[in-house]
Amino acid sequence: MTKLKIFLVLAACLLLVSCQGIGKEEEKNSIRIGVSLYRGDDTFINNIRSIMEEKAKEYERQSGIKIILDIQEAKGSQNIQNNQVERFISLDCDVLCINPVDRMDASGVIDKAMTAGVPVVFFNRQPVEEDMNRWDHLYYVGVDAKETAILQGKMVVDLYREHPESVDLNGDGVVSYVMLEGETSHQDSLIRTEWSVQTLKDGKVPIEKITGGIANWERSQASALMEQWIAEYPSDIELVISNNDDMALGAIDALERAQVTGVNVIGIDGTTPGLEALESGRLLGTVSVDKELYVSAILELTVSCALGQEPPEEYPLSDGTYYWTPQEILIHRIEENQ
């Protein structure tokens, strides 16, 4: 009799576990995703947000699973973002999608997520490796910053080889440039700055730095810096290297106000305003990520986390954690103006 009771208890436990597993897959007809953006006025992030909302609706139509996106802006404050994560968890979000304010201080987000057992997909601003290695349910979707910088430098190298006179504007054998950098401690900013210049050197472009400055990814700050540089070096600047399109557009604004023509300006991101400036020839070139693919990777990975499924095979993960989105050079060819 005792053995029979034990058998019945074990059988009931197995049945309960089995039913819970089935229920999780069959009854999941909606997914709540908590999305925190480091800032709401970043042009690239706004592009990503719009596409994410479109992709979520598309997924709903195709799968029949309702996607609830709770999108918040952290306004550049890590404390605000940490509070948003707490709120997402209290609202029983199935997964978190985080664009970190401070990539060096993602531990607070990770601590809260790990305690609650909620997976996290980071994007755009890569947390440090030590943090990403803390848990098996942390992922990152972004671009390889070194590849970005090399592509940015390559567009000038290629143009210099084809039409040196279009880069060395005064024909003195040296390309004089200024550098617009993003944030002081941001990994992408540091890498983009270093490797874009290194690529120019490796490509045998004779460059000389005039000056540079931090514009925090912002168009207005870059415009103010460029205005100052034009006043200080009125006839010396031949090339503006910018860590992103917004700052590149700020430099163009200042050049146009000063009625300075011919200076080449290059950016990164392929934002909508950047592509418009590229089309008109105001921006020489940019490095663009396929934003549709970028957001699809974020959403598909996020949904698979929410459903407890394996990461989608069409977005292969490096080290089981990172998805690197392909990039391409977009340049306004000099032949178009001839």
Q: Model's pTM, two decimal places?
A: 0.86
- State pLDDT tens for residues 295-326: 999 999 999 999 999 999 999 999 999 999 99
- Starting at the edge strand found earlier in the chain, the sheet holding 66-73 runs 66-73, 30-37, 95-98, 120-123, 138-142, 322-324
Q: Residue range 1-24: average pLDDT?
A: 37
pLDDT at 16 over 70: no
d(CA 170, CA 329): 26
- Token pair of 254 as six digits: 């200042």
- State pLDDT tens for residues 100-140: 999 999 999 999 999 999 999 999 999 999 999 999 999 99
- State pLDDT tens for residues 188-200: 999 999 999 999 9
pLDDT at 66 over 70: yes
d(CA 140, CA 318): 10
Better pLDDT: 101 or 13: 101
Q: Which amino acid is it at 188?
A: D
d(CA 302, CA 298): 6
**Run of H or E residues at 77:** none
HSE of 258 in the Cβ direction (CA atoms, 13 Å)? 23
- State pLDDT tens for residues 268-292: 999 999 999 999 999 999 999 999 9
